[in-house]
Amino acid sequence: MNDDKRKILVIEDDLGLRTQLKWALANFEVLVAEDGPKALHQFERKRPPVVILDLGLPPDPNGASEGLATLEKLLKLAPLTKVIVASGNDERGNALKAIELGAYDFYPKPADLDVMRLIIDRALTLHDLEEENEQLALGRTSPLAGLVASSPEMLGLCRSAERVATANIAVLITGESGTGKEILARAVHDLSARAHQRFVAINCAAIPDNLLESELFGHEKGAFTGAVKQTIGKVEQAHHGTLFLDEIGDMPLSLQAKLLRFLQNRTIERIGGRKEIEVDVRVLSATNRDLAAMMTDGSFREDLYYRLNEVSMHMPPLRDRPGDAILLARYFRAKYAKDFQRAPKTFTTDALAAIARYRWPGNVRELENRVKRAMLMADGKAISSADLELCDDTDILQMPTLRQIRAQAEAEAVLRALAITDNNVSDASQLLGVSRPTLYEIMHAANMPINRRDRS
Ligand SMILES: Nc1ncnc2c1ncn2[C@@H]1O[C@H](COP(=O)(O)OP(=O)(O)OP(=O)(O)O)[C@@H](O)[C@H]1O
């Protein structure tokens, strides 16, 4: 019968109090433990969302050391747990210490049972909300696995990714550094028929030019000084799967020719090898450089560009994805709370405002690093703009007011209507469904010259 009831763990060394609480909380499935180790054992088995913890536990029944240590261990196991601490009148300092460590609330002993039930109800509601939020943040908002996005720009891109994934064509992903190009490439691979085969990535900028050829195509034993054994290159490793060429704009010209040959013939020769080896890979590549300009100045081969770019996809910078920065910040907060086994923290209002206003020159990577650092460093339960080191006014996006947005849209509509009506104000006002004086007002407000043709 207990199955429908919510679970609560009561950690209390006094048998009388344990029994009293069990009786008073008959609406719940009450688990009890008289010391820290037993409590942790119960907790691991049943995972109750709410725990009532007496700080004075053996072997330190008159102090709080064992209670506080148990609190820390519980929150490490499940950071979303709401721990309510019981404290005597002279233990206020310890209760506050427990709150600092992540306890949800405290109540003075002896317990007023009505107040206690209220605290428990609120704790349960908050626990359920936070759990739901975490679930959302950890992936359900994502149209593609691992790629968190909600802005129309990104949702459109996700749809394109789904479409190109199934066709076996080369995709070139462009976009500023840290925007998530590699994550998009992985999503394309995961959605393709090659998903159960390997995704092999190589960063062409991270490997010195003289080693890149061997890294890509492999070498035979003795092919050059130091080639002590045969080595299979990345292209061959990706056989039947996907090869991701990151920072393709950094590939030296000599190697571009060799890559082009591979894309034309679909065969490679290891350095120092004599036979041609057939390799079947799908090639995805990415760059944050302007390949068009590089083709003009001769540093990137045009024929290779067209081989790599059967379809192109552009990752917009984070500042051009309205709403995504906040969503991603919440996602990384949940991710690192889990990774670091920390109690979840909220963002203060000023932190959220700072995230929305900042220009994010380093894009998602910068956001991830700032949230990660704040999760480690922030004292207390909330992350502020100072914890994110977003306090000064540099790199702030100027947010237009609604009034400015409306004025701009009106001015654009008027310009379009005047163009269509050959500058006839009467016809333009009719087209826009406003009176002539209103039209003049908009033109005046937008500083447009008022020497238009008018029928009247
Ligand atoms: N939409 C997203 N959802 C979740 N994580 C993301 C998203 N975009 C980027 N990231 C994370 O941000 C970091 C940078 O992403 P990624 O390496 O894919 O960027 P990039 O554009 O390939 O960067 P570079 O040009 O420097 O190679 C990674 O840790 C990645 O997991």
Rounded Cα distance, 308 and 245, in Å? 10
Q: Among 246, 365, 373, which is best to mutate for testing ligand 1, by the most ligand atoms less than 8 A from CB?
A: 365
- Location of each CATH 1.10.10 domain in the chain: 402-445
Q: To the nearest whole number, what is the mean pLDDT of the chain?
A: 88
- Location of each CATH 3.40.50.2300 domain in the chain: 2-139
DSSP at 280: -
Please tell me if the CB atom of residue 179 comes closer than 6 angstroms to any atom of ligand 1. Answer: yes
* Whether CATH 3.40.50.300 fits 152-314: yes
**Tens-place pLDDT, residues 232-279:** 999 999 999 999 999 999 999 999 999 999 999 999 999 998 889 999
pTM greater than 0.80 (yes/no):
no
> Can you say whether the dihedral through the CA atoms of 43, 44, 49, 53 is positive or negative?
positive
Please tell me if the CB atom of residue 189 comes closer than 6 angstroms to any atom of ligand 1. Answer: no
pLDDT mean over 178-203: 95
Q: How would CATH label the architecture of 319-383?
A: Orthogonal Bundle (1.10)
Rounded Cα distance, 182 and 294, in Å? 22
CA 321 – ligand 1 centroid, Å: 14
| Distance in angstroms between the alpha carbons of the first and the last residue of the chain | 84
Quick one: what percent of the chain has pLDDT higher than 70? 93
- Location of each CATH 3.40.50.300 domain in the chain: 152-314
Count Cα atoms within 13 angstroms, Cβ side, for 344: 24
Q: Which residues are paired to 383 by β-bridges?
A: 347
Which comes out higher in pLDDT, residue 357 or 373?
373
ipTM score for this prediction? 0.98
CA 140 – ligand 1 centroid, Å: 18
Q: Which of 381, 387, 333, 383 is nearest to 103 (CA)?
A: 381
Q: How would CATH label the architecture of 2-139?
A: 3-Layer(aba) Sandwich (3.40)
Rounded Cα distance, 395 and 387, in Å? 17
Please tell me if the CB atom of residue 147 comes closer than 6 angstroms to any atom of ligand 1. Answer: yes
CB atoms within 10 A of CB 350: 15
Which SS3 state, helix, strand or coil, does residue 436 take?
helix
CA 312 – ligand 1 centroid, Å: 18
**pLDDT for position 391:** 76
Q: Which of 385, 369, 283, 373 is nearest to 318 (CA)?
A: 369
Per-residue pLDDT band for 393 (boundaries 50, 70, 90) equals low
**pLDDT for position 182:** 96
**Tens-place pLDDT, residues 151-184:** 888 888 998 999 999 899 999 999 999 999 999 9
**pLDDT for position 339:** 87
**pLDDT for position 222:** 85
294-321 burial code (b ≥16 CB/10 A, e <16): bbeeeebbeebbebbbeeebebbbbbeb
pLDDT above 60 (res 141):
no
* Whether CATH 1.10.10 fits 402-445: yes
- Location of each CATH 1.10.8.60 domain in the chain: 319-383
pLDDT mean over 143-150: 80
pLDDT above 80 (res 436):
yes
